[in-house]
Copies of this chain bind each other. A is one copy, B any other.
Amino acid sequence: MATLAPDKAPPELVAFFEDVRRLVDGELTRRLAPPPEDPGRLIEAMHYAATGPGKRLRPAVLLAAAEACGGAHANALPAAAAIEMLHAYTLVHDDLPAMDDDDERRGRPTVHVAFGEGIAILAGDGLLTAAFGALAELGPYAGAAVAVLARRAGAFELLGGQAIDLTASPESLGSLASVERLHAAKTGALFAAAAELGGIAAGAPAATCASLGRYGLSIGIAFQHADDRDDQEFQELAEAAKERMRVLGEEARAIAQSFGGRGARLASIAAWFASQA
């Protein structure tokens, strides 16, 4: 999947994405190092899922949002690990035979193929649990951070989107508005959480974090439009989707610019997402 490959990003972002991967993968490996006794290779499976190929876009958005609020990367790192573990858990469970039934992801066997279906269920559960555990390390901001992630990743947003996916065909969604509601739940929710958590970890006021949430939602929907570009099912909506990507990118860029110079990275990310239109 070549959509939004970090090594094809605008030059000012490439080095940032490399830094993010190094930082976040180091943090994930520290948290998920398999102990000498690892029954069923559960923790190895969690590490495999969280540190495989993949773009680390959500932690990048989170760290860029923390920057925009004047926060240091180090303070936001537990949250960056949390959002990547959360994302990894959704992929592990999505790939299960009872869900999308995928054998391969990013050129490697999926977790249930490599470790067995039971361990894959537990590994997803473990990553979800560890994500909240990491947010608990945010000191005075832990409560707000957990509340945001639980809402965004919960049954009324992310999981609700996955339930729609299980029960509806893309054609049955019909209009671009319905497709976008699904995009908002399935993909927008986690990008929104990423941006909000960056603000929270930097100690930003609630109104600022809410504004970052709108930024994340916009780029998340744009990302999903880009991801669906080559999908046969969405061809009829392709032109309308392109126009929406431009609009969503502009909305996100405006929010980024409200942070002045510190928001430059967020603005670059929004422009890059919109440029896929």
* Chain A interfacial positions (CB closer than 8 Å to B): 35, 39-40, 42-43, 46, 89, 93, 96-99, 116-122, 124-126, 128-130, 132-133, 135-140, 142-144, 146-147, 149-151, 153-156, 159-160, 162-164, 166-168
A-B contacts, 6 of them at CB < 8 A, read: A46-B155, A89-B125, A119-B166, A122-B162, A130-B154, A132-B132
Known contacts A39-B160, A125-B159, A126-B154; can you find 17 more A-B pairs with CB under 8 A?
Answer: A39-B163, A39-B168, A40-B166, A42-B159, A42-B160, A43-B156, A93-B125, A96-B121, A98-B117, A119-B166, A121-B121, A122-B162, A122-B163, A128-B128, A129-B150, A130-B154, A137-B143
Q: A150 vs B166: C-alpha distance in the bound complex, in angstroms?
A: 28
* Contact assessment for B132 and A150 in the assembled complex, using a CB-CB cutoff below 8 Å: yes
Q: Check A154/B133 contact, CB under 8 A, given A121-B121, A166-B40.
A: yes
Q: A118 vs B151: C-alpha distance in the bound complex, in angstroms?
A: 21
With a 10 A CB-CB cut-off, give which of A96, A125, A167 has the most chain B CB atoms: A125
Set of chain B residues within 8 Å of A96, measured between Cβ atoms: 98, 121
* Contact assessment for B159 and A133 in the assembled complex, using a CB-CB cutoff below 8 Å: no
Q: A137 vs B143: C-alpha distance in the bound complex, in angstroms?
A: 7
Q: A69 vs B116: C-alpha distance in the bound complex, in angstroms?
A: 44
Which 7 residue pairs across A and B have the least CB separation, nearest first? A133-B150, A142-B143, A40-B163, A98-B117, A126-B155, A136-B147, A136-B146
**A111 CB → nearest B CB, Å:** 12
Q: A39 vs B118: C-alpha distance in the bound complex, in angstroms?
A: 26
